[in-house]
Amino acid sequence: MHSSRLYFIDIIRAFAIIMMLQGHFIDTLLSITYRDLNAVPYAIWHYFRGITAPTFFTISGLIFTYLLLKAKEKGQEKIRMRKGITRGFFLIGVGYLLRIPFLAWFSGYFNSYFLVIDVLQCIGLSLILIIVLYTVCAKRTLLFAIVLLLLGILIFISEPLYRGLSFDTIPVVFSNYISKSNGSVFTIIPWFGYIAFGAYIATVFHQYLHTAHFKKITVASFLILGSLLIEYSSDALTYLHKLTDIQLFMDAANYNYLFTRLGNVFLYFAFFYAFEKFLKFPLILKIGQKTLSIYVIHFIIIYGSFTGVGLNRLIGKILTPWQAVFGAVLFIATVCLISFYYVKTNAFLYAHLRDFFHKVKGKR
């Protein structure tokens, strides 16, 4: 009997969250003196740090959609969709909560910076959009897969059209989801594109997981597609410009970070899926299952959520490279330890949110 459990998903999530922890720690505390892209160690670190967010978004789309399609097999897709919507709003709420400066508010100082959009809001809204697309496609998996793939490609190619847009005429709470002009770190476009590609991959896994040689074919496909995207996606966009004379293709080719980063993500997927059975350590799997708690804890420690006092202010950008490296290792261990043994951020808050929705529903 074949198992439908995809351990490599938790392994990749663990890798991505650890990369995020060290990335945020070093970026927040490393002295400006050592931030030289001409220095090979820093250049390598900077490059791989740039792959972390695409990996996290892509794997989020994959796991959510895979679980949704598995629920459909069992006739439980409506339950999964309700959970997904609840989860989406929950992530959006936590994202805002982490940026609320309560101490500043208590002292009478208010501004709208807490409304900027970060990873959690973007992923939360993306999960809701996945459910909307699934519903619009009448829950037909093939049509759903085609729409996801085309939408991901369209979002990536059209990036030059919305890259610098500002929406001053609409409320900031909404414009922050599509514009970085007010300080948003992530916006729904282009980042939903990675979610869409991850969701598309989930439809492939769901359909063919138990077919002969699926793993070998999938690993090889990830390797080939990843390499092609990294090496030739810009050339392909340039060729499309020559073929069609559409300037958008050339503009996308000249700043082609989206497709190349997707190529890097595919190479990660190939590696972790190929060596899945060697990496199924309980600790790694547990880290992969505790990403939200880890994210919340690290955000509080580094950026001082609620109090405004974090490592960014207590220490600042003063560390040498070796201090930053050893500090990052200690930081990762501390955050994971707190997440494992001292808090249940995800389970506690999510359970109370579900209870609230059930009470509201019962009063109708």
The region of weakest confidence among 109-118, 144-153, 279-288, 340-349 is 340-349
DSSP string, 53-65: HHHHHHHHHHHHH
Q: In the prediction, which pLDDT does 4 show?
A: 61
pLDDT beyond 80 at 266: yes
CB 16 within 8 A of CB 22: no
pLDDT of residue 35: 92
> Mean pLDDT across the stretch 224-241?
96
How many whole angstroms separate alpha carbon 254 and alpha carbon 265? 20
What does the pLDDT look like over 249-262, one tens digit per residue?
999 999 999 999 99
pLDDT at residue 353, as a whole number: 54
Mean pLDDT comparison of 39-43, 98-102, 147-151, 299-303, highest-scoring range: 147-151
Q: Among candidates 154, 44, 134, 30, which has minimal Cα distance to 82?
A: 134
CB-CB contact of 9 with 288 (8 Å): yes
pLDDT at residue number 132:
95
Lowest mean pLDDT of 67-71, 278-282, 293-297, 354-358, name the range: 354-358
pLDDT of residue 156: 96
Residue 99 has pLDDT above 90, yes or no: no
Q: Once rounded to an integer, what is the mean pLDDT over residues 182-197?
A: 91
Which pLDDT score is estimated for 350? 55
Per-residue pLDDT at 151 = 96
Question: How far out from the chain centre does Cα 18 lie?
Answer: 13
252, two tokens: 């996308």
**Cβ atoms 56, 16 nearer than 8 A:** yes
Q: Tell me the per-residue pLDDT of 82-93, one tens digit each, with 9 for 90 and over.
A: 999 999 999 999
pLDDT at 54 over 60: yes
pLDDT at 187 exceeding the cut of 60? yes
Q: Please report, for residues 100, 158, 176, the alpha-carbon distance to residue 112 in angstroms, rounded to integers and kept in the order given.
A: 9, 29, 11
Do you find a cis peptide bond into 190, omega within 30 degrees of 0?
Answer: yes
Of the two residues 236 and 74, the one the predictor is more confident about is 236
pLDDT score, position 358 = 54
Contact 252, 234 (CB under 8 A): no
Q: Using the predicted structure, report yes or no on whether residue 294 has a pLDDT greater than 50.
A: yes
Task: Tell me which amino acid residue 364 is.
Answer: R
Asked if residue 133 lies in contact with residue 147, where contact means CB atoms within 8 angstroms, the answer is yes
User: Over the chain, what is the mean pLDDT?
Assistant: 88
pLDDT of residue 1: 41
Query: For a pLDDT cut of 70, what percent of the chain falls above it?
Result: 92
Mean pLDDT of 286-296: 90
| DSSP secondary structure code for residue 317 in this structure | S
Sorted by where each begins, the domain ranges of the chain are 211-266
State mean pLDDT over 296-300: 91
**What angle is formed at CA 85 by the lines to CA 81 and CA 89, rounded to 5 degrees?**
165
Residues 175-190, mean pLDDT to the nearest whole number: 87
Q: For residue 75, what are its two tokens?
A: 């006739």
pLDDT digits (tens, 9 = 90+) for 131-178: 999 999 988 999 999 999 999 999 999 999 988 777 777 888 888 898
